[in-house]
Amino acid sequence: MRTSPNVIITGTPGVGKTVHCEQLAQETGLQHLSINQVAKDRGCYDTYDNELQSWVVDEDKLLDAVEDEVLQGGYLIDWHACDLFPKSWIDLVVVLRCSSTSVHYDRLATRDYNQTKLQENLDAEIFGILLEEAREAFDEEIVVELNSEKDDDVESNCARISSWVESWKRDRANKRD
């Protein structure tokens, strides 16, 4: 039985996943697991997509690469997708959203994305694709949608998630007693 939860922080690129994970790691003691970094470090790529100018992750390789760690619990999983992770691994799914297209566009433009990749990510956010995927892949009660546009949002979101983590730990400790 895990003594710390696994939390997915997901959303389209540019919504603040990494900023949230870094702050939450400090506040909660959970470890920030950047899936992009894991894929790079552990060779979990399948092919390269020339149009989007990005690597395509081999999801089976990726899951094999993180399984032993994640099953122990205590991770903030930072990635733009969540539906590949088994339900049994995950205790909370936080979908960060940026409803201001202009704010989101500016964030993505600073990343030097080509126009195709930039537009695809804006469209995915506008249509709520990742939220829909999260709701289809996980039980409704563990999927939370949070707005991430202003600096204040990061603070309030992290406080809310930190509180949830503490509550999760307390509930598990009480069950063990």
* Per-residue pLDDT tens digits for 46-102: 888 888 778 889 999 999 999 999 999 999 999 999 999 999 999 999 999 998 999
For domain 7-156, give the CATH number.
Answer: 3.40.50.300
- Per-residue confidence (pLDDT) for residue 177, from 0 to 100: 66
Any known ligand binding at 170?
no
Any known ligand binding at 111?
yes
Any known ligand binding at 128?
no
* pLDDT of 176 strictly over 80: no
Instruction: Write down the pTM of the prediction.
Output: 0.93
Q: Report the C-alpha gap between 159 and 177 in whole angstroms.
A: 27
Domain positions in the chain are: 7-156
Torsion of the alpha carbons at 28, 33, 37 and 40, rounded to the nearest 10: 160
Residue 92 phi/psi, 5-degree rounding, is: -150, 140
Any known ligand binding at 94?
no
Any known ligand binding at 117?
no
Any known ligand binding at 150?
yes
45 to 1, 56, 78, 115, 130: CA distances (angstroms):
31, 6, 17, 23, 21
Any known ligand binding at 61?
no
Mean pLDDT, the chain, rounded, equals 94
What average pLDDT does range 33-38 have in this prediction?
Answer: 95
